[in-house]
Chains A and B, each alone.
Chain A
Amino acid sequence: MGGMFSGPLTWQNAIVWILASVVLLFLVLGFVTYAIYFERKILGWAQARHGPNRVGPFGLLQTVADVAKVLMKEDIMPKNADRALFILAPFLAFVPAFTVLATIPFTGWAYFADLNVGLLYYVALSSITTLGILLGGWASNNKYALLGGMRSAAQMISYEIPLVISVVGVVLLSGSLNMSKIVDGQEGWFWNWNIVPQFLGFVVFMIAAFAELNRTPFDLPEAESELVAGYFVEYSGFRWAMYMLTEYVYMFAIAALTTVLFLGGWHAPAPFLEFIPGIVWFLLKFAFVVFFIIWTRATLPRMRVDQLMGFGWKVLLPLALANVFLTAVWLEIFN
């Protein structure tokens, strides 16, 4: 499918590319709808209650009803808010979340762009969301929103560094930043998956990913039951929905990235199971990562901001660097 995108820019090609992106957008929106539903259900089950079960069969239409309600709300803008930035911020936060999906290979043939620097592209674009969040906090003309935005930016920047460095180990093992090649290196039995040689890198990556997603235990900027929504407190209606969408699309992107980098992408755990299509394996691993993220939210308490920053710089960063060093030494000795 990547070959489909490498022709000249004629009208036909442009329409085909736009349609393909729209299909991905709808798939992602469908994922977000049911990710929100399953998050509420799983959190409910972990708390010995049912979760949404009245709207539609088994409550499946709950998110649809919620989205309809949110879209019908009045769009309030504070009087002294910075208009242009207030309007720009949600989109600035959302656009990178969606564009990073271009380089992720879902199966051997289902990808949009086979960049040789695919991983670097992902990491670079995901930093732009931090700008959107900071801008939302500033443009709201609200000191608590500003504080929330600054804290969130501090958290996201500090945890991006261990995130990137933990992935360097995987790059060293695979010899390439190209995501398809990284997945190819994990073919065969499940002990070939990068999680086995790079377990320390995987742990650092997962923790840093939780911080990047602003999810429990690092969800201080939002802190639903404590602070009032942090940096997006002044947003209502569609703009708030945009921020929520950003968060869940990032969950999609990080889960997809984890599956590709550490869990063997679309490969089966054993060679004799390869007859089952790759997309099924990808979806199973992806679903497990999303379940783990939600399970963590049900389990762990929230970290304080100083504990969070201390942990990121003093624990995760040295661990990530140690992982790179150990991987390099191992490769030198055994190759």
Chain B
Amino acid sequence: MKGIIKGYATTLKTMVEPKVTVKYPDVPLKMPDRFRGIQHFYPEKCIVCNQCARICPTECITLTGKPNPDPEKKVKVIDTFDINFEICILCDLCTEVCPTEAIVMTNNFELAAYSRDELFKDVKWLHENDTNVRKENNSSSPRARKGGQ
């Protein structure tokens, strides 16, 4: 009997407490910093080493380079860089392997579209996608690692 009364008191108390649900999508959902969303690309940092395209498990990255417009430098410059977002699994391996951290992840994941054309991200889109960029990028290159670890 006492348990029943305590049960009633508990439910009544819970009725006036703040709710545990989140009103997504009316209220935006803030992801932690390390959340892997769609990539952000810095064309000026890319050295066209092709590591990201080689390591990608689904082979969704295709890139081409062109000779450096500056005749002094020998490093190639990125010409086109496409990510086929339909098959990108957001695994973060391209970010880990990039020696210059030219490609990093952001926290943007709300990318549903009504047409598959919009899911083919080119270098312009990836460069302009610069909100919510991840601060910690897990790059395996010693040169790109910041602050020593």
Q: Which residues of A contact B67 (CB under 8 A)?
A: none
Q: Which residue of B lies closest to A292 (CB)?
A: B8
* B15 adjacent to A50 (CB under 8 Å): no
* A300 to B5 alpha-carbon distance, docked (Å): 10
**B44-58 CB contacts (< 8 Å) to partner A:** none
How far, in whole Å, are A300 and B11 apart by their CA atoms in the complex? 10
| Contacts A46-B15, A47-B14 given; does A300 touch B20 at CB 8 Å | no
In whole angstroms, what is the CA distance A48 to B15 when docked?
Answer: 7
Contact of A295 among B11, B20, B21 (CB under 8 A): B11
Contact B14 A46, beta carbon cutoff 8 Å:
yes
Q: Mark A199-236, 1 if CB is under 8 A from B, else 0.
A: 00000000000000000000000000000000000000
Asked if A45 is at the interface of the complex by the 8 Å CB criterion, the answer is: yes
Q: Is the CB of B17 within 8 A of A48?
A: yes
A48–B19 CA distance with the chains assembled, in angstroms: 5
Cβ of B111 under 8 Å from chain A? no
Which residue in B7, B8, B12, B20 is a CB contact (below 8 Å) of A48? B20
Asked if A167 is at the interface of the complex by the 8 Å CB criterion, the answer is no
CB distance from B16 to the nearest CB of A (A): 8
Decide if A42 is an interface residue (CB 8 Å cutoff): yes
Bound complex: CA of A74 vs CA of B66, how far in Å? 64
Is B14's CB under 8 angstroms from A299's CB?
Answer: no
B10: A residues at CB distance < 8 A: 299
The 8 A CB mask of B113-142 against A (1 = contact, 0 = none) is 000000000000000000000000000000
Q: How many angstroms between the C-alpha atoms of A315 and B7 in the bound complex?
A: 22
Residue among B11, B14, B20 with max Cβ neighbours from chain A (10 Å): B11
Question: Residues of A contacting B12 with CB < 8 Å?
Answer: 46, 295
Contact A45 B15 (CB under 8 A): yes
A50 CB, nearest partner CB in chain B, Å: 6
User: What's the interface size class on B, roughly?
Assistant: 10 to 19
CA distance A300 to B19 in the complex (A): 21
Q: Is B4 an interface residue (CB 8 A)?
A: yes
**Interface bits A274-314 vs B (CB < 8 Å: 1, else 0):** 00000000000000000000011011100000000000000
Cβ contacts under 8 Å, B19 to chain A: 45, 48-50
Pairwise interchain contact B14-A295, C-beta atoms closer than 8 A: no
- Report B66 CB to chain A, min CB distance, Å: 52
Minimal beta-carbon separation of A85 from chain B (angstroms): 40
B119 to chain A, nearest CB (A): 28
Chain B contacts with A in 36-70, Cβ cutoff 8 A = none
Q: B17 and A299: CB pair below 8 A?
A: no
Q: Does B8 lie within 8 Å of A49, measured CB to CB?
A: no
- For residue A48, which residues in chain B have a CB less than 8 angstroms away from its CB? 14, 17, 19-21
In the complex, how many angstroms separate the beta carbon of A169 from the nearest chain B beta carbon? 22
Q: How far is the CA of A46 from the CA of B16 in the complex (A)?
A: 8
| A295 / chain B contacts, CB cutoff of 8 Å | 8, 11-12
- Closest chain B residue to A217 by CB distance? B4
User: For B20, what are the chain A residues with a Cβ–Cβ distance below 8 Å?
Assistant: 48-49
Which A residues are in CB contact (< 8 Å) with B17? 48
The chain B residue with its CB closest to the CB of A42 is B15
Q: How far does the Cβ of B6 sit from chain A's closest Cβ, in whole Å?
A: 10
Closest Cβ neighbor of A48 among chain B residues: B20
Contacts of A49 in B (CB 8 A): 19-21
Chain B residues with CB under 8 A of A50 = 19, 21
Distance from B13 Cβ to chain A, minimum over Cβ atoms (Å): 9
Shortest A83–chain B CB gap in Å is 44
Inter-chain contact B21/A299, CB cutoff 8 Å: no
Closest 9 CB pairs of A and B: A45-B15, A46-B11, A299-B11, A299-B7, A48-B20, A49-B21, A298-B11, A46-B15, A299-B8
Which residues of A are in contact with B by a Cβ distance under 8 Å? 42, 45-50, 295-296, 298-300
Q: Which residues of B contact A (CB under 8 A)?
A: 4, 7-8, 10-12, 14-17, 19-21
- With A46-B11, A46-B14, A49-B20 given, can you name 13 additional A-B contacts, CB distance below 8 Å? A42-B15, A45-B14, A45-B19, A46-B12, A47-B14, A48-B14, A49-B21, A50-B21, A296-B8, A298-B11, A299-B7, A299-B10, A300-B4
Q: List 8 A-B contacts (CB under 8 A).
A: A45-B15, A45-B19, A46-B15, A49-B19, A49-B21, A50-B19, A299-B10, A300-B4
